[in-house]
Amino acid sequence: MREISVFTLKDKLENNESFILLDVREKPELDICALEDAMHIPMMSIPSMLSELDKKTPIVAMCHTGVRSSQACLYLMQHGYDVVNLQGGIDAWAKEIDPRLKQY
């Protein structure tokens, strides 16, 4: 499985690259902190919401630390999606990119 760093994600966002930032965390986690450009589909809901994701658009999957999103990546890859995992998840983003985000 391919992974990218939070620094690479920051560059992608700043360069307005075309991709889906998929946050697979649960609603209570999103209430603590979230990235505004992310599409939110809880990991367990992905199988029933595959039609919401465009196979032609690359996906960067994220969660709290990268563990759940790596599982989501494996599932999406098996279904033909172009997906990469965000190393360290939103935890790494808050530590390395935006310390204003609340950590948990």
- Cite the active site residues: 63
E strand or H helix that includes residue 86: strand 83-86
Secondary structure (H, E, C), 35-79: CCCCEECCHHHCHHHHHHCCCCCCEEEECCCCHHHHHHHHHHHHC
**Spatial distance between the Cα atoms of 99 and 89, rounded to a whole number of angstroms:** 14
